[in-house]
Amino acid sequence: MRNQILSWRKCLPLWVVLVGLLLCAGVRPVRAQDSSGKPRPTIVFMTDFGVVDDSVAICKGVMYSIVPDVRIVDLSHQVTPFSIQDGARFLYGATPYFPAGTVFVVVIDPTVGSTRKAIVVKSKRGQYFVLPDNGLMTLVQDRDGLEAAREITNPMWMIGAALSSTFHGRDIFSPAGAHLARGDDWTQVGPELDLAKLVRLNLAPAKLDDRGLSGDVIATDGPFGNLVTNISSDEFMKLGYTRGQTVPVTVGNNKFDVPFVRTFSDVPLKNVLLYIDSRGRLGLAVNQGSFAATYGIKPPQPIFIPRAAK
């Protein structure tokens, strides 16, 4: 014990020096909370801007200028350009993993500058969404429900004396999101809207009948080229297939016989597979390859799977 105490005392000056050097260099511990004990405000930011120019950085600069201690999480800035459906899908996938009070700023806005409304929506999970009224909320609305929505009309929640007609991400959505994250009263953003009149995407659900299951390939899975469908695992399992079976699948005009497996490595390299993806939907993939590129499939495409033979 005595030797341990002596050893600790010898090391103490070194620790003092190291801490002093870190403090002099401006290094501070990362804090999840501010000095009052409240969690740091969080904005989750998603756009179809890409990252080849300064658009994303400008929007973040606007947010930081209003609430300097905000934490900005990039959901994605590589959303397929103009794809409201992809944006709605990513929101649906990400929102369950963030707490109440999180502010989602989404700028996928192919009709920017038109008569479409810029809005703030509060879900029944207590999350806020700052975005154009163009259907982006459809999937979240169906799952979580909405508490209220307001149009962004208050100029104090915007920036610039003359708003750009093409960069509402900078001038309207970013400042409005920052005001929310700062804790400003969101009822001041503008007039309340009728939830029943919000724009919705026209998404046809998968359909099960006596012949089998009809659905759609709605997207590809990031850079990997896996096909993402609107068929849930529960719907697919009603067809009567079990893992290890070969499943006949028709995608567009292409017919495949695909093994239904648990994961990619359950089939040989470059072979096709049918699986349930991480979001609980049916997917088609090539082990360490791109299904979309290999077979020239570009969503959207219809997909049909017959019932399993008895």
Residue ranges of the domains in the chain?
42-197, 207-306
CA distances from 67 to 70, 111, 131, 184, 292 (A): 6, 28, 19, 11, 43
User: Does domain 42-197 match CATH 3.40.1110.10?
Assistant: no
Contact call for residues 262 and 274 (beta carbons, < 8 A): no
Specify the CATH class of 207-306 in words.
mainly beta
Find, among 46, 73, 169, 78, the residue nearest to 118 by Cα.
169
Residue 165 has pLDDT above 90, yes or no: no
- 285 phi and psi, to 5 degrees? -145, 165
Binned at pLDDT 50, 70 and 90, residue 40 comes out as confident
Residue 175 has pLDDT above 90, yes or no: yes
Contact call for residues 307 and 211 (beta carbons, < 8 A): yes
Q: What is the mean pLDDT of residues 153-166?
A: 86
Residue 162 has pLDDT above 80, yes or no: no
CA distance 84 to 108: 6
pLDDT at 164 (0 to 100): 86
CA distance 155 to 94: 30
Terminal Cα distance for the chain, rounded: 74
The two structure tokens encoding residue 209: 């009948």
